[in-house]
Amino acid sequence: MPKIVQESTVAGTRDDGSKIILPEVEVVVKNAKTDVEYDDDVAADADVNDPETETTADDIQRHVAIRVLKGVGATGEAKL
């Protein structure tokens, strides 16, 4: 299940009045061979270190999605 590790938020304002926006960041950690999704990197590491599984570090994939203009009322228009 994708995990939001950072919500989109306004982090401040620049001298020109424009907003500093931090993007939403979503992370999915999964096993490429078994297609199992892990809750986090700790769970993936536990699977790699478990002698009862054949999972190796090379089997773990980490997908990161960054949504730049989501959720803070941004219009996507350039301020000229």
| Averaged pLDDT, 55-60 | 96
pTM: 0.66
Q: How far is it, in rounded angstroms, from Cα 24 to Cα 75?
A: 16
Tell me the sheet residues that pair with 27: 3, 64
Instruction: Provide the pLDDT for residue 43.
Output: 94
The domain ranges of the chain are 3-67
> 3-57: per-residue pLDDT in tens?
888 788 888 888 988 888 888 899 999 999 999 999 999 999 999 999 999 999 9
| Averaged pLDDT, 63-80 | 66
Write the DSSP symbol of residue 23.
P
